[in-house]
Structure 1
């Protein structure tokens, strides 16, 4: 993973409230033993009809929107189940950010841990961005600054909310494991202090297992 401070976005609008993870990644795409092929399952029932034909009116099927990397979504995006496949599918499809007024809590955490920016903006800013994008025949250009936590479109600049820890993870290109390992020296020092103060607890699990 590489560090970055900005995302140059081409955004598509999907103004559907409460779009849950079952719709983002339907259950039939959860059967694999790895992450491969999930881009094809992303928003499957919205993108394709029952016969597997692309729906002409759906924004991500329009030729002008090929290669979009930002989704402007309705409120409570990613609610429902905890399936991380929803985030994996979005990343495989090419999305780098989702902008919405609110997110499902587990989806939000999964997104940050997979370098998908969940940019939470105020409801008025979310509506303004959706309206601006919906009035176009091509993707809405956006500049997302991870340092200033701001989104700039042709007509407005909107701040978004992100904790300092998540902000640093996204800038540095780290998942939770990488962020933890960065503090390995602090973890080792704590373990040494703990063992010195309470030596009878050192490696107690290993000793009991033996």
Structure 2
């Protein structure tokens, strides 16, 4: 998993509440167990028409937001079913930070396991960031995870809270497997000792 330290990038505004995981990645794309390749189907039903032509009015299809790395969204983002494919699709598109007033718990925790920083901020602050994102590609936000700040294109800075352990994992690029591998020497020592004391096992 890539480390997340500081990000300066384009923010796409999506002022919708209750964006659920089926909107993020519809159920027909859940057959794969690969984390890659889902970005093209992110927000499938809003992004394309029935013939799979792009909807020019959808934010991520607009030229100024095709390279967005930050998503500013409405309340209760990631609600619905607990599919991990949702953060997979977001990350595969290239978005590594989502900003919203609140999140569904399972989606929120899945983000950290997939290198995405979900930032929760009060609605009035999200409104400011939404307006900044609406300026397009020339208005780039900066996310500083170490300082726990979001800075608008005009230099206005807001602080956010984050669990210290989740912050550590993101900044060091550690998913569940990475955390386990940090303990590899201890695990090896335990296995070696167990093999000596119980050779019949």
Per the normalisation by structure 2, the TM-score is 0.87
1:70-92: CA deviation from partner (whole Å, max 9, x where unpaired): 11111111011000001101111
| Structure-2 residue corresponding to 1:151 | 150
Q: Quickly say closer, same or farther: Cα 1:32–1:176, change in 2 above 3 A.
A: closer
Task: Report what 1:58 is aligned to.
Answer: 58
Native 8 Å contact 2:25 2:41 kept in 1? yes
The runs of at least 4 consecutive aligned structure 1 residues that moved more than 6 Å come to: 186-189
Q: What secondary structure sits across from 2:56 in the alignment?
A: coil
Q: Could you list the runs of 5+ residues in structure 2 that have no partner in the other structure?
A: none
1:41 aligned residue: 41
1:26-62 deviation per Cα after TM superposition (whole angstroms, max 9, x unaligned): 0111123433421121001111112211111111101
> Secondary structure of 2:95's partner?
coil
Give the match's secondary structure for 2:92: helix
Task: Name 1:163's counterpart in structure 2.
Answer: 163
Structure showing the higher helix proportion among its residues: 1
Alpha-carbon distance between aligned partners in 2 of 1:148 and 1:174, rounded to the nearest angstrom? 19
Correspondences of 1:123-162 after superposition (within 5 Å): 123-134=123-134, 136-138=135-137, 140-155=139-154, 156-162=156-162
Please list, as runs of the form range in 1=range in 2, the aligned pairs for 1:43-192 lying within 5 A after superposition.
43-134=43-134, 136-138=135-137, 140-155=139-154, 156-184=156-184
1:185–1:35 CA distance, 2 compared to 1 (3 A): closer
Unmatched 5+ stretches in structure 1: 196-201
Asked whether the 8 Å contact 2:36–2:88 carries over to 1, the reply is: no
Q: Secondary structure at the match of 1:31?
A: coil
Judge conservation of contact 1:16–1:74 (CA < 8 Å) in 2.
yes
